[in-house]
C-alpha cells in the first residue's frame, strides 16, 4: 500500500508512512473496540521486557538483526547489488531497472 502510493502518486515516503501508521492504529482501535489485547502467552512478555545476563532481550534481538544486516550488505551478492543500485533516480533509470519499478 505504502509503496504504491509513493511510486504512483509521488507523495513523500515519510509522510505516507506516518499517514499509514495513523490509519492502521485507527483500524486496530476499531477492531479491538479500544481495548487492549490480553491473554498473550508469557513468552511475549519475556521477549518484550525480559533480560539475559543483565542485557535486555530487545537489545539482543536488535544486535542480532543488525549483525545479520551487516553480513548481508557486506558479504553477499544481494548486498552488493543494493549498494550499487543506490537511491539516485536519474542514475537508476540508466540501469536495467526503471525508476518506476523501485
Per-residue pLDDT of the chain (102 residues; tens, 9 = 90+): 788 888 888 889 999 999 999 999 999 899 888 877 778 888 888 898 999 999 999 999 999 999 999 999 999 998 888 777 666 666 655 555 444 544
The answer to whether the predicted template modeling score (pTM) of the entire model surpasses 0.75 is: no
Provide the phi-psi class of 38: left if phi over 0, else alpha when psi is between -120 and 50, else beta.
beta
Cα distances (angstroms) measured from residue 44 to each of 41, 51, 57, 89: 6, 13, 11, 41
Amino acid at each position: 500500500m505504502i509503496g504504491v502510493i509513493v511510486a504512483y502518486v509521488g507523495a513523500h515516503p515519510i509522510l505516507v508512512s506516518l499517514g499509514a501508521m495513523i490509519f492502521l492504529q485507527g483500524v486496530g482501535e476499531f477492531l479491538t473496540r479500544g481495548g487492549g489485547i490480553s491473554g498473550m502467552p508469557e513468552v511475549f512478555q519475556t521477549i518484550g521486557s525480559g533480560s539475559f545476563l543483565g542485557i535486555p532481550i530487545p537489545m539482543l534481538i536488535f544486535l542480532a538483526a543488525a549483525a545479520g544486516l551487516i553480513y548481508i550488505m557486506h558479504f553477499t551478492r544481494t548486498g552488493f547489488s543494493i549498494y550499487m543500485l543506490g537511491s539516485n533516480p536519474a542514475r537508476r533509470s540508466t540501469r536495467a531497472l526503471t525508476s518506476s519499478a523501485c
